[in-house]
Structure 1
Amino acid sequence: MRKLVYYIASTLDGFLAGPDGGDPSGPGGFWSIAEDYLTYVIAAYPETLPGPARDALSVTAEGTRFDTVLEGRRSYEVGIEAGITDAYPHLRHLVFSRTLGESPDPGVEIVATDPVARVRELKQEEGKDLWLAGGGELAGSLYSEIDTLIVKLNPTTIGAGVPLFSRQAAFDPVAWSLTDHKILDSGTAFLTYERVTDTVVVTDED
């Protein structure tokens, strides 16, 4: 079965973007992309680079992990505001929104139905894993369906912003097992966790 993988950049204090929800690595953002970070992503996760970046860097590798990317409306609109209607033309691209209506790009599928039900359908299909690219609201809605977390932990704190999971996520403690890690000289840590159990039992003796 295909896995839903939340592959996302986060600050040390658990935010994936500033209060305005803009691209943290874009103009005026708080995260500058180090050379070793870019080199590692190109080698390990080339399919997660947006199409314009792949073109600029002459990256043609399909990648071995993902063939489908899932985004929420606000995350998708960051690209729209930059004039990009499909940031990942090399992947199957689904955007979850009940308000967007018709897709602005033939390569992008708008999903207005229940995210959990749609993801469960996608997991049953043949193919590589599903990449949950953000944002926090969609991740909150799909909290129960996430099988793997790959957190690109940025050595920065910002104090406030868009959290890794929105408040739509129900209180449901889950245990995760660290299965891989890569620490870059620039300070970013790539941490891979696999879901261990759906429930963590906390007792007075713990």
Structure 2
Amino acid sequence: MRELVYYVAVSLDGYIAGPNGQFDAFLVEGDHMDGINERFADTIPTDHAAALGIDQSTGIFDTVLMGANTYAAGLPEVTSPYRHLDQYVFTHRRRDPVDGVTFTDRDPVEVVRELKQTEGKDIWLCGGGDLATQLAEEIDRFVLKRQPVMFGSGIPLMAPGRYAPRRFHRVRGHDFDTGVSIVEYAAT
């Protein structure tokens, strides 16, 4: 069965973006990028990967889920950031159709349960924090790119207190010279 994987950069103090939704303090250069490009090449926006000559055909994901604010980060320039994946954007706002993007106001839990029952690769939960909280019980794995920065406030990895306690075990981890650590946890 397909897994829902919350793969995301997170600050030392537990935020996936700063107080104004900014994430530009996260390191995007350094030795950790080679590890990301090798194992998670499919999480790089399609146009960026093409410009860098990165092959995305062997990735572990074929679907990406985003909240409306995460999707909006690339607008208006980029309307279909991950054309190599099936893209789902959860929003209650009406949107004009975009090739390769499914906008939906359906319950994210129902959508994920349906996707998990279909054939395919794993499902990438890209963000944001509210969507992750709604899907907390459905997350099978966390892959956290722990960054050596603090935001002080902002969008948390998960909203507090809106899900039942669950145990995860560490599957793998790697520390890089940049100070970035990539740690993976699977549900027990």
* TM-score (ref. length: structure 1): 0.87
Corresponding position: 1:101 with 2:95: yes
How many angstroms does 1:182 deviate by? 1.2
Cα displacement string for residues 115-158 of structure 1 (whole angstroms, at most 9, x for unaligned residues) = 10010000000000000000011101111100100000001112
For these two proteins, the number of residue pairs brought into alignment is 188
Corresponding position: 1:166 with 2:159: yes
Contact persistence 1:176–1:194 (CA under 8 A)? yes
In structure 2, what is the Cα distance between the partners aligned to 1:122 and 1:70?
A: 11
In structure 1, what is the Cα distance between the partners aligned to 2:180 and 2:94?
A: 34
How many angstroms does 1:31 deviate by? 2.0
Corresponding position: 1:124 with 2:117: yes
Corresponding position: 1:3 with 2:6: no
For the residue of structure 2 that corresponds to 1:35, the secondary structure is coil
Contact persistence 2:27–2:147 (CA under 8 A)? no
Aligned match of 2:32: 37
Aligned match of 1:200: none
**Residue 82 (structure 2) aligned to one of 69, 88, 107:** 88
Amino acid paired to 2:124:
W
In structure 2, what is the Cα distance between the partners aligned to 1:61 and 1:88?
A: 11
List runs of 5+ in structure 1 lacking aligned partners. Answer: 197-206
Aligned match of 2:138: 145
Corresponding position: 1:18 with 2:13: no
Name the larger-Rg structure.
1
Amino acid paired to 2:154:
G
Contact persistence 1:73–1:100 (CA under 8 A)? no
Runs of 4+ in 1 over 3 A off after TM superposition: none
Q: Does 1 or 2 have the higher relative contact order (CA < 8 Å, sep 6+)?
A: 2
How many angstroms does 1:42 deviate by? 1.1
Amino acid paired to 1:86:
S
**Identity across matched positions, percent:** 37
Aligned match of 1:187: 179
* TM-score (ref. length: structure 2): 0.95
How many angstroms does 1:61 deviate by? 2.9
Aligned match of 2:73: 78
In structure 1, what is the Cα distance between the partners aligned to 2:41 and 2:95?
A: 30
Contact persistence 1:7–1:151 (CA under 8 A)? yes
For the residue of structure 2 that corresponds to 1:62, the secondary structure is coil
| CA RMSD, Structure 1 to Structure 2 (Å) | 1.3
Corresponding position: 1:111 with 2:104: yes
